[in-house]
Amino acid sequence: MWNSVISTPGARYACADAKNFYLCTPLDCYEYMRLPIKLIPQEFIDLYNLAPKVKNGYVYMEIQRGMYGLPQSGIFANKLLKERLAKHGYHKLPHTSGLFKHDSRPVWFTLVVDDFGIKYIGEEHAKHLIGILQEFYEMEVDWDGSLYSGISLDWEYKNYHVDISMPKYVQNSSSNSIGQNQ
């Protein structure tokens, strides 16, 4: 995608993050869970009046929306996103995982979990996509396209160049204890 952006005249790149992407997704079938009351802080027990709901040391709950740690949350969130975007002309491309394109607008995007990497020609086309996403999700948009899935991007469109880095991914060897006797 990034090579495509720098090699396409007039193309630009933006990043967007859908806040609570999984948490906004209704489940097709509800899930159920029990949680030991001893793991719940007293302030939450009091706030949500959980004490009367304790049975044999557990609080039982019904899960109606996606949540982190629930394996199917990602599948349901992705399925719902595809349905919502298809109504506006956006479709997943068949041979590249996570790559989407609009039927007629010059806008493409990659999706990794809840991060959108958007290639566009003409800001109005990227705004079209963002506007649709904002109907359903709280979106944080980075029009400079400087951070995608933890990867820092420094764009030099005029020179057909992008620098990619992951600052602080590998600690500076002088600041850690690798190879040092303790």
Lowest mean pLDDT among 2-11, 136-145, 166-175: 166-175
Helices (H), the chain: 2-7, 42-47, 72-86, 123-136
CA 96, 101, 107, 111 dihedral sign is: negative
Q: Is the pLDDT reported for residue 175 higher than 60?
A: no
Look at residue 168 in the predicted model and tell me its pLDDT.
76
Look at residue 145 in the predicted model and tell me its pLDDT.
96
Report the pLDDT averaged over residues 2-8: 96
> DSSP assignment, residue 122?
S
Look at residue 111 in the predicted model and tell me its pLDDT.
92
Look at residue 182 in the predicted model and tell me its pLDDT.
46
Q: Which two tokens stand for residue 92?
A: 């997943």
CA atoms within 13 A on the CB side of 171: 6
63-116 pLDDT tens trace: 888 877 787 888 888 888 999 999 999 999 998 888 999 999 999 999 998 899
Q: How confident is the model at residue 15 (pLDDT cuts 50, 70, 90)?
A: very high
End-to-end CA distance of the chain: 45
Look at residue 79 in the predicted model and tell me its pLDDT.
87
Q: Which two tokens stand for residue 129?
A: 């996509």
Cα(24)–Cα(81) distance, rounded to whole angstroms?
A: 11
Cα(142)–Cα(151) distance, rounded to whole angstroms?
A: 13
Cα(79)–Cα(72) distance, rounded to whole angstroms?
A: 11
Look at residue 171 in the predicted model and tell me its pLDDT.
63
Cα(21)–Cα(77) distance, rounded to whole angstroms?
A: 7
Angle at 83 between CA 79 and CA 89, to 5 degrees: 135
Q: How confident is the model at residue 177 (pLDDT cuts 50, 70, 90)?
A: low
% of the chain at pLDDT higher than 90:
68
Cα(95)–Cα(130) distance, rounded to whole angstroms?
A: 24
Cβ-contact 151, 165 below 8 angstroms: yes
Look at residue 140 in the predicted model and tell me its pLDDT.
96
DSSP states along 149-180 = TTEEEEEEGGGTEEEEE-TTSS--GGGS-TT-
Q: What's the pTM value of the predicted model, to 2 decimals?
A: 0.78
The closest of 172, 176, 181, 151 to 1, measured between CA atoms, is: 151
Look at residue 75 in the predicted model and tell me its pLDDT.
82
Cβ-contact 25, 75 below 8 angstroms: no
